[in-house]
């Protein structure tokens, strides 16, 4: 049975679809089924992921997996967090978002540039599933002084990994998957689906 990936973000689809297909899941992106975006009115990653999964399940009649994620910067009190996609305006422009973030940290020393990515994945069997599966992954790093690398998506070029001396955008897809917030959340989700 098909499962709809409840995201309009091509980067997320790339990172999730192949792994899910590899374990035999028949996944299809919501855009291929004509599902548009829904307003994310929640105050947490969990609430927004549920809103998106529920909406896609309702429109398609299929089980749905949604991803709500973002980057939280210590120096900014956790911003942009759930507002990461809209940090520099409604259109979710990666370049503008990164430019705004680098600007907000201009002159801030390395020791105060800690950040983390969070990813919440929600699996809903149907629109009114009362017990959605909720998985959370986290990834610690720092905000780079400038963007580097062209892999990944979103904020990856400014997410600096001191122990690897690289940004997330300088990792190969399988390297990112092994350590990222989304990779961790996906591992947990697959485990939960296997057990239940």
Residues at the site binding ligand ITT, with contacts judged by CB under 6 A:
7-9, 12, 37, 40, 52, 67-71, 84-85, 92, 94, 97, 117, 152-156, 168, 180, 182
- Please say if 26 is a catalytic residue: no
**E strand intervals along 125-193:** 133-143, 159-161, 166-167
Nearer to ligand ITT, 75 or 153 (CB): 153
Provide Rg for the chain, Cα atoms: 17
Between the CA of residue 32 and those of 38, 62, 66, 68, what are the distances in Å? 16, 13, 15, 19
Alpha-carbon dihedral sign for residues 22, 188, 92, 101: negative
Minimum distance between the CB of residue 22 and ligand ITT, rounded to whole angstroms?
Answer: 19
The active-site residue out of 67, 68, 94, 156 is: 68
Measured from each CB, the residue nearest to ligand ITT is 154
What DSSP assignment string belongs to 1-22? Answer: -EEEE----HHHHHHHHHHHHH
Judged by DSSP in three states, 73 sits in strand
Minimum distance between the CB of residue 9 and ligand ITT, rounded to whole angstroms?
Answer: 4
Give bridge partners of residue 161 from the DSSP assignment: 166
Nearer to ligand ITT, 40 or 142 (CB): 40
Nearer to ligand ITT, 68 or 147 (CB): 68
- Phi, psi angles (nearest 5°) of residue 167: -90, 165
Minimum distance between the CB of residue 134 and ligand ITT, rounded to whole angstroms?
Answer: 14
Nearer to ligand ITT, 7 or 116 (CB): 7
Minimum distance between the CB of residue 195 and ligand ITT, rounded to whole angstroms?
Answer: 26
Catalytic residue ranges: 68
């Amino acid at each position: 049975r098909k499962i709809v990936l409840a995201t309009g973000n091509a980067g997320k689809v790339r990172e999730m679809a192949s792994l899910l297909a590899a374990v035999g899941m028949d996944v299809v992106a919501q855009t291929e089924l004509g599902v548009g975006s829904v307003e994310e009115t929640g105050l947490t990653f969990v609430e927004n992921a549920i809103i998106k999964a529920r909406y896609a399940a309702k429109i398609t009649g299929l089980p749905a997996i949604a991803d709500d994620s973002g980057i939280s910067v210590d120096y900014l009190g956790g911003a942009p967090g759930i507002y990461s996609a809209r940090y520099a305006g409604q259109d979710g422009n990666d370049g503008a978002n990164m430019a705004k973030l680098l600007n907000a940290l201009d002159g801030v020393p390395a020791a105060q540039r800690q950040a983390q990515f969070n990813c919440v994945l929600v699996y809903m069997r149907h629109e009114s599933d009362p017990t959605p599966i909720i998985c959370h992954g986290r990834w610690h790093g720092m905000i780079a002084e400038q963007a580097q690398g062209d892999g990944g998506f979103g904020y990856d070029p400014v997410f600096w990994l001191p122990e690897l001396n690289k940004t997330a955008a300088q990792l190969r897809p399988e390297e990112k998957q092994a350590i990222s917030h989304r990779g961790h959340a996906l591992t947990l989700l697959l485990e939960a689906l296997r057990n239940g």
